[in-house]
A and B are shown apart, each in its own frame.
Chain A
Amino acid sequence: MSSDIDEAEEAVRVRFIVNGSKVTCAVAPRDTLVDCLRNSLELTGTHAGCEMGACGACLVQLDGRAVHACLMFAVQADGARVDTIEGLSESGAIADLQAEFHRRNALQCGFCTPGMLINAHELLARVAEPSREAIRDALSGNFCRCTGYEAIIDAIAAVAEARVDRAAQEREAASR
């Protein structure tokens, strides 16, 4: 048996906070974060479409920022906070995006969808009311083969508008 296979089989203990819970898991040094999430933690909502950072299916939040889970080794995420589609769904953080995607049928097979939602969530956290052009641009690393993208753009734009309106109402209510 060659020695590099020995090495590959060696397990490393990593710890992270996944969707709000402390998690320890044993991973091989060559395991990517997407492997670890999907296989060890059974969080299969994070998908792998290309494993080279091109398709966006594997996006997760790492310490609050969207990252490609296929481009990162699990060991590199040691100590980090990881939020996946499952956690973001359960916390309600993206409930409005999910509802709008549903209402407009902004998904078909749904394989790209978790990555799309995480990217949309990230975009709206940075830019309150992006133009359609800016939304299209922000999604340029998320590949969808089923939809024509348009419903996705519409859904994100509608959520942005609703969030801005709600924030304005809340400000108004607070100032009264």
Chain B
Amino acid sequence: MSAPLTSLDRPNSYIGRAVPRPNAKRLLAGRGRYVTDIRLPRMLHAAFLRSPYAHARIVAIDTGQARALAGVHLVAAGTDIAKVCTPWTGTLDHFKGMTSEPQLPLPLDRVVWAGQAVVAVVAESRAIAEDALELISVDYEELPAVVDLDAARQPGTPRVNPAGQSNICFRTQLDSGGVDEAFAAAAHVIEQEFSFGRHTPVTLEPRAIVADYDPEAGMLTVHHATQTPYQFQDLYARHYGIPEARVRVIAPDIGGSFGLKLHVYHEDMAVVGLSMLLGRPVKFVADRIESFVSDIHARDHRVRARMAVDADGKILAMDVHDATAIGAFSTYPRTSVVEGNQVIRLIGAPYDFKSYRAALEVVFQNKVQTSQYRAVGHPIACAVTERMVDLAAASVGLDPFAIRARNVIPDDAYPTASPTGYKFEALSHQVCLQRLHEIMNYDALRAEQAELRQRGIHRGIGIATFVEITNPSPAFYGVGGARISSQDGATISLTPSGEVRCAISVTEQGQGTEAIISQIVADQLGLAQEHVKVITGDTEVTPHGGATWACRGAGIGGETALQAARKLKANILEIAALVLQEQPAALDIIDGEVVNAATRQPRLAIAEIARIAYFRSDTLPPGTQAQLTVSHHFAPQGYPFAFTNGIQGCYVEVDVDTGFIKLLKHFVVEDCGRIINPMLVDEQVRGGVVQGLGAALFEECRYGETGQLLNGSLADYLVPMAMEMPDIVIAHVETPTADTALGAKGCGEAGTAAASACVLNAVNDALAPFCASINAVPITPARVLEALGRF
């Protein structure tokens, strides 16, 4: 018996097909070309002297000896670069009352975190530049450092910015009403405090940049390991006073980004200035230790939460307070308050309840800036919500699945909105919950757990429901005045040989952007995928767009490509119709051939149409100008965000003697709408889960009392490795968004969003017989033993 034909059986039907990524072969052969690999003629190398203090006044800088070293071309301090670069401030207008100090590439008179770049040296080689750093002496006068989040919030604490009123960067609250009444009427009130450590993205390729200013042409070319080249084109143009069209940013192969590579870093801005001052290409690649002290960190929240539930376990209300410490500045141009803002807006998001109150306090401290990292705010919101739901289940006497089934927004209730105002088009919590129950084989796991518990083996099962923000509209940054595009653009051409090239503004960092765009274009045009070439990551070649962040590559970039391909197809068929003396509507394209739409009889190869249009336009009817290159831009309309949803589960074993946690298996059910390439979605989800598991168990930037990062190397800062990671079972539900023809939502952050919440619940489940409880992430062995009273 053969399976019934599906849409995937049509020729050139690539949407929904697990095809390998064409560009991956190059990377497998060691032929990737990362910014770290780029070498330009006459290129020099920059290195930075960094502050040993978390907070200090710069009294004097002596660079005489460094300048004299053979091979050194330039030694520049804050004032030198300030001559060519205007300062920036990381605030957004719609965050009312938000403050942050203006920043420059290198500080003028005060350092505000340990590791801040103070002086730049440009030399013939990185090694010589580093030698020169040792010859520079800086006199500092140490100032009191604000290190601890709670201390930073106390009135009377020294201020991170002496010019500021306090250490508060931003405060906001939400109140949907009825909270106090709901708590008064509740059968159970659960109250809990959570703490989330700082961690950092740790892309395997560190930050890297090669800036090349040509003074004669007045042109700046920057090879930049970034996910958002257009944003940097705009920033370099504005802060260095170069016309935008003369700034070119090229983002070739990028060795991981995860949000890390879209923020403005002081060294990167400095390198552009250094190249302008020298009129030569200058390269900077952060080494791993520099990455730890200067890349953004993320998370660092303390949350207090209360939940009111009725006697049946129905959630009535939540009341939360989130305090988050962001370092000495708010990042530019996206700001550091977005994470906290997203935490308070996402808490409770999967559940159907009305009364919600939240307060957010964003606090400065003398540490490196925190900002957006994969699944911004989601892991915190999810961990708080899901832990509270589990605690509620325990007080009511319900199973974790049962309480969620009782409380998730029902699948037939859409469209609807969260109590915090997020508008949901269509989510699938109930189906996902059901699917997870099946793929986990939940009842069997519970039986196994109970049986093993008898034998002193302590296993735990945790589940966590999540909602992920994807496809952000201009309501995200645009309203705040940031020049961050929510639209994307594609320029797509039929080449003279009948192939297709598509230059698109969404970028590739390994998630498979180029592959899915070629799938969509080939599918829509009726061509074999290998005849579509996709070009990304070069502002000179590709149209302006937001590029890849916040899971907008497939949903926004994919829709852009789809619409562009449809336009080009219409133009091709118009020419074909002229040549064939037919109506365009009577024609279609299959496998690179123009065919009769009704009979599918081949009529003409599109290569022939290209040949005629490009080389023999004299044979086309007078007045015909063939448009075989089209450009299309697309910005989301309709819902401000396309929400992906899903649920994760995990099974862990806790060694109650050592506190070690073993991840046995992880399960994910997710609904990212239309799936373009199931294999890539699965691998995105797996990668995301593993990053979330790292956060759950290992990753934490630890600081000493004076604000020194204590574990700034890959030997001290633990990231998940193959040995500790479980196999991950994935199932999909597909609820396409009706806002686009493609119907895709994002999936890149879904894995990270709920992984820590799941582990937190699972570990607590394992510890239940001991009446021990943990509400801090990462869940280190020490914290487990502490909870057990054994440490």
Residues of A within 8 Å of B256, CB to CB, are 108-109, 111, 145-146
Residues of A within 8 Å of B202, CB to CB, are 145
B: residues with CB less than 8 A from A are 20-21, 24-25, 27-34, 36-37, 39, 68-70, 127, 131, 201-206, 253-256, 258, 287-288, 509-512, 679-680, 683, 685-691, 713-715, 719, 721-723, 725, 727-728, 751
Within 8 Å by CB of A113, from B21, B27, B287, B685, lies B27
Q: Per-residue 0/1 for A66-101: is the Cβ within 8 Å of any B Cβ (1 yes, 0 no)?
A: 000000000000000000111001000000001001
A136 touches B723 (CB 8 A): yes
Do A153 and B722 contact each other (CB < 8 Å), given the known contacts A105-B680, A111-B34?
yes
Within 8 Å by CB of B205, from A9, A47, A105, lies A47
Q: Once bound together, how far apart are the Cα atoms of A140 and B721, in whole Å?
A: 6
A107 touches B288 (CB 8 A): no
Q: Once bound together, how far apart are the Cα atoms of A153 and B308, in whole Å?
A: 45
Tally of contact residues, A, Cβ under 8 A = 60
Q: Per-residue 0/1 for A11-53: is the Cβ within 8 Å of any B Cβ (1 yes, 0 no)?
A: 0000000000000000010110000001100111111111110
Say yes or no: is A139 at the interface (Cβ < 8 Å to chain B): yes
Do A145 and B725 contact each other (CB < 8 Å), given the known contacts A86-B30, A107-B510?
no
Residues of A within 8 Å of B255, CB to CB, are 47, 109-111
- Please classify the interface of chain B as helix (H, G, I), strand (E, B), loop, or mixed, using the class held by over half of its residues: loop
A108 touches B687 (CB 8 A): yes
Within 8 Å by CB of A30, from B30, B33, B127, B254, lies B127
Say yes or no: is A54 at the interface (Cβ < 8 Å to chain B): yes
Q: Once bound together, how far apart are the Cα atoms of A152 and B715, in whole Å?
A: 23
A149 touches B690 (CB 8 A): yes
A145 touches B719 (CB 8 A): yes
Do A44 and B21 contact each other (CB < 8 Å), given the known contacts A146-B687, A147-B687?
no
Do A51 and B28 contact each other (CB < 8 Å), given the known contacts A111-B205, A148-B686?
no
Q: Once bound together, how far apart are the Cα atoms of A81 and B316, in whole Å?
A: 70
Residues of A within 8 Å of B727, CB to CB, are 150
A110 touches B32 (CB 8 A): yes
* Shortest Cβ distance from B288 into A: residue: A50
Residues of A within 8 Å of B206, CB to CB, are 49
Residues of A within 8 Å of B254, CB to CB, are 109
Q: Once bound together, how far apart are the Cα atoms of A153 and B69, in whole Å?
A: 50
Q: Once bound together, how far apart are the Cα atoms of A97 and B565, in whole Å?
A: 35
- Smallest beta-carbon distance B202→chain A, Å: 6
B719 touches A140 (CB 8 A): no
- Smallest beta-carbon distance A66→chain B, Å: 15
Among B39, B680, B727, find the residue whose CB has the most chain A CB atoms closer than 10 A: B727
Do A51 and B204 contact each other (CB < 8 Å), given the known contacts A109-B254, A151-B686?
no
Residues of B within 8 Å of A174, CB to CB, are none
Q: Once bound together, how far apart are the Cα atoms of A104 and B24, in whole Å?
A: 11
- Smallest beta-carbon distance A91→chain B, Å: 12
Say yes or no: is A137 at the interface (Cβ < 8 Å to chain B): yes
* Shortest Cβ distance from B203 into A: residue: A145
Say yes or no: is A55 at the interface (Cβ < 8 Å to chain B): yes
Residues of A within 8 Å of B715, CB to CB, are 52, 54
A145 touches B31 (CB 8 A): no
Say yes or no: is A159 at the interface (Cβ < 8 Å to chain B): no
Say yes or no: is A61 at the interface (Cβ < 8 Å to chain B): no
Within 8 Å by CB of B713, from A9, A52, A101, lies A52
